[in-house]
Structure 1
């Protein structure tokens, strides 16, 4: 869907459009809805009474207005009960609203800024606009259908905050950019193609960019990263993006994203059904790159550096094996007990590099463990922090952004299981299935002493069915948290 949002200072009934949308909250018309109802001599309230419309969340009622006048129709949109309503309610309302208006087939509509009286014009405008733009996202893919009708919709938000709507457009566009990267098939989005797109984005937005090929990766000493990549015919790339504010930076933050553009599991081969979503094993990288896209436009006073170790984990005569010992960039040696625990190997070198380049704090995002999905399900990311203050800062940013994270412990007693008799570390905790997400986080914490937050996004990064803020596929999880962390509102 091609969705255009417009902010307007005028009242709902003062903007010409064929469809006008008013909210019903707690079973009653909103103030804007009451104004519209009075103008049309009680048509809306009579329809609600006649059809027993209570306005449960997402419920709609289409009411015909005066013939020959504009608007011709009013859409009553249910916001549910007053108790428990939140900004997330507004986001989901925006997404549902766009889908419902598109279903009706109109090209232009005007909606009130729901619940502005409760949350304030700025916050309500932002949440509603963000939800609408996320809900309007569609992945066109590579279908060869011809003559398919292109959906276009212009949606006006009455009495909204223009700056809030503009910011929502920037952030939502970045989230949708991440979604599209995750949705690309792996034969298209190879490590080299991911790097090419990062370079194109940097050129477009004025970011600094540097990309290393496989030779440079080896020369730098990234032995853990390169081992994962060496089995594929598609060579790895190490992607580095930098945003610097015009004034001296308040601090320097690094974002690291897992960039496995496809993961077979290597010789520790995944079952076939588990490989179906493995084109999304680079969702952490997608989030990092997309967040850089947003901050290049928002221009926060923080220097941000993004790092992606992009690779495929494949099987061949050159692929790394169980029992191999790898030398990481940090100098620490790693015994491989499972080639499907590959993400942490690529991230170990990327985190080390981010540390050495002068980052004062690091956030790393990765679809790292199925254990985290078992613990927290498909809606919530696990948050691990080696520094409580930095962990709280990231968690609070996620809460403001509307993304669900939950803190899990870096339990020091479990670090013992990562000790190897052959090398400094081993890449998994062996045959035990206990505490898999925690031991993976402990492994990553071995490669920096700077404040580090590891977000295990294996659950919420990809949805196999439609969800409240968008269609099946990549969700763009993490983008909003990263942007909120460095730019606020």
Structure 2
């Protein structure tokens, strides 16, 4: 059941609720205290100021302070969350604040939540709606009995410090839909692989397309072979669960300003194939379809936003398994665009399915082509688990993607397409080897993908291997699948619409 969100003007300490969260700008306790803190101190009969001093709470980012109401206000607990300097707060910080408020409600087993927005946050209501959805996310589908949560958050009331703008409800509702779209990607990535096969992933895309009035094509295995998507065929042929290729599209009612095409890697489980992975950590390979899951969530968001931009999303879905029909190291396979590829390691399967998907996408002649994938461990070695790496083949593409990142607040770092490493992809028996040496592995993977974008002038590749999942809740991300990338892609689309 979706969260019920509302915004109103009210005295927050007069609202009956399980939890009340105040956003607090940074302040100097030796000078003027925020009005919210004064009001709560008065309602609780004093003592709060001493606690503030003891805990050194001054409203800095990441600071929080929790106090029980003890029957002195119609709320069970009051939480203060620091927002930092007012001048520095934009959508990403607002989204994080709202997510933390939601997470506090989940931790408190609250059914109702009041979030008090200080003056200034009424300019960021869409980010508030996004954050509350992202912060209250939980994947509990398979929990039963005592493991299943007994309570769930049902209502959230936002109280604006100043009069809420006329479009407040609309902005919060749109933010909620975008947050739900990101949560959909999280759900898909968290699904176990015995449930989410390539066909099932394609089926989820069909549900989103139907609900959003989007066009969709799904190629089954026979159609993939007929179309000449040989590399996707190679990766998927070792599994009893046949591969799928998905193309979702949105066309605005007015003449589109631009055409943006997105591509996602959808390996629903990756054993490594013949080059089988070690057992330790293999269970995490259910998340190897996070790039494709992002495509489903992205198009759900596009259906909600309805931008004046033509948007296409493609998913190359397969399961990489080592049966008697599996592709092998040393094989040579043709690709959709005609180049022959020598297989070096079957555990580098993601770039193969993306190669055919990019060749297909390039035929649409997009103004910008973006792919995303949990592609290489080398990117995690380079940037850690909280940043993804991205590459661009033009300054214009890099400029637009950088601006989208700044707006979204997601953590990505531009990596170089080092031309000297291109020699590592030379093969004695085919046009290309599909991987190079261990050193610079994320870069050579990007260089390999670039071979399949045809005449596309503006292309971005995002290697999201690290932050696609998290081992703990931080910011607006939960433990488990994060949906990393969707907010940036949404920002990129809205940027193009302007």
Q: Normalised by the size of structure 2, how large is the TM-score?
A: 0.90
Which residue of structure 2 lines up, in the alignment, with residue 77 of structure 1? 80
Mean Cα deviation higher: 24-33 or 355-364: 24-33
Whether contact under 8 Å (2:198, 2:243) holds in the other structure is yes
Whether contact under 8 Å (1:23, 1:33) holds in the other structure is no
Whether contact under 8 Å (2:23, 2:97) holds in the other structure is no
RMSD: 2.6
Whether contact under 8 Å (2:178, 2:304) holds in the other structure is no
Aligned pairs (5 A) from 1:276-287: 276-287=283-294
Q: Relative to 1, partners in 2 of residues 1:316 and 1:164: Cα closer, same or farther, differing over 3 Å?
A: same
Post-superposition shift, 1:93?
A: 2.4
Post-superposition shift, 1:104?
A: 3.2
Whether contact under 8 Å (1:20, 1:71) holds in the other structure is no
Which residue of structure 2 lines up, in the alignment, with residue 95 of structure 1? 99
Which residue of structure 2 lines up, in the alignment, with residue 108 of structure 1? 112
Aligned partner of 1:190 among 197, 215, 235: 197
SS at match of 1:273: coil
SS at match of 1:282: helix
Q: Relative to 1, partners in 2 of residues 1:46 and 1:312: Cα closer, same or farther, differing over 3 Å?
A: same
Distance 1:346 1:72 in 2: 53
Deviation string 1:3-37 (CA, Å, 9 cap, x unpaired) is 43222245645755464332343356999961674
Distance 1:371 1:299 in 2: 37
SS at match of 2:143: coil
Q: Relative to 1, partners in 2 of residues 1:62 and 1:320: Cα closer, same or farther, differing over 3 Å?
A: same
Distance 2:51 2:297 in 1: 48
Whether contact under 8 Å (1:10, 1:158) holds in the other structure is yes
Distance 1:409 1:35 in 2: 48
Q: Relative to 1, partners in 2 of residues 1:247 and 1:65: Cα closer, same or farther, differing over 3 Å?
A: same
Q: Relative to 1, partners in 2 of residues 1:317 and 1:391: Cα closer, same or farther, differing over 3 Å?
A: same
Post-superposition shift, 1:341?
A: 1.1
Distance 1:100 1:27 in 2: 23
Whether contact under 8 Å (1:260, 1:282) holds in the other structure is yes
Which residue of structure 2 lines up, in the alignment, with residue 177 of structure 1? 184
Whether contact under 8 Å (1:2, 1:151) holds in the other structure is no
Distance 1:253 1:127 in 2: 24
Q: Relative to 1, partners in 2 of residues 1:38 and 1:418: Cα closer, same or farther, differing over 3 Å?
A: closer
Mean Cα deviation higher: 469-478 or 220-229: 469-478
Q: Relative to 1, partners in 2 of residues 1:107 and 1:143: Cα closer, same or farther, differing over 3 Å?
A: closer
Q: Relative to 1, partners in 2 of residues 1:345 and 1:39: Cα closer, same or farther, differing over 3 Å?
A: closer
Which residue of structure 2 lines up, in the alignment, with residue 54 of structure 1? 56
Whether contact under 8 Å (1:44, 1:63) holds in the other structure is no
Q: Relative to 1, partners in 2 of residues 1:222 and 1:254: Cα closer, same or farther, differing over 3 Å?
A: same
Q: Normalised by the size of structure 1, how large is the TM-score?
A: 0.91
Distance 1:327 1:435 in 2: 25
Post-superposition shift, 1:462?
A: 1.1
Whether contact under 8 Å (1:323, 1:337) holds in the other structure is yes
Q: Are residues 1:445 and 2:450 paired?
A: yes
Which residue of structure 2 lines up, in the alignment, with residue 245 of structure 1? 252
Post-superposition shift, 1:86?
A: 3.8
Q: Relative to 1, partners in 2 of residues 1:50 and 1:287: Cα closer, same or farther, differing over 3 Å?
A: closer
Aligned partner of 2:279 among 258, 272, 278: 272
Count residues in correspondence: 481
Which residue of structure 1 lines up, in the alignment, with residue 412 of structure 2? 405
Which residue of structure 1 lines up, in the alignment, with residue 141 of structure 2? 141
Q: Are residues 1:416 and 2:423 paired?
A: yes
Post-superposition shift, 1:85?
A: 5.3
Deviation string 1:288-326 (CA, Å, 9 cap, x unpaired) is 111000111110000111111100111011000111101
Distance 2:28 2:138 in 1: 33
Post-superposition shift, 1:232?
A: 0.7
Q: Are residues 1:463 and 2:496 paired?
A: no
Q: Relative to 1, partners in 2 of residues 1:54 and 1:296: Cα closer, same or farther, differing over 3 Å?
A: same
Distance 1:59 1:373 in 2: 31
Deviation string 1:364-416 (CA, Å, 9 cap, x unpaired) is 00000000001111111111011111122112112211111111111112111
Post-superposition shift, 1:110?
A: 1.9
Mean Cα deviation higher: 20-29 or 388-397: 20-29
Deviation string 1:209-235 (CA, Å, 9 cap, x unpaired) is 111111111111111111111111110
Aligned pairs (5 A) from 1:17-28: 17=17, 19-27=19-27
Which residue of structure 2 lines up, in the alignment, with residue 213 of structure 1? 220
Whether contact under 8 Å (2:25, 2:86) holds in the other structure is no
Post-superposition shift, 1:151?
A: 1.2
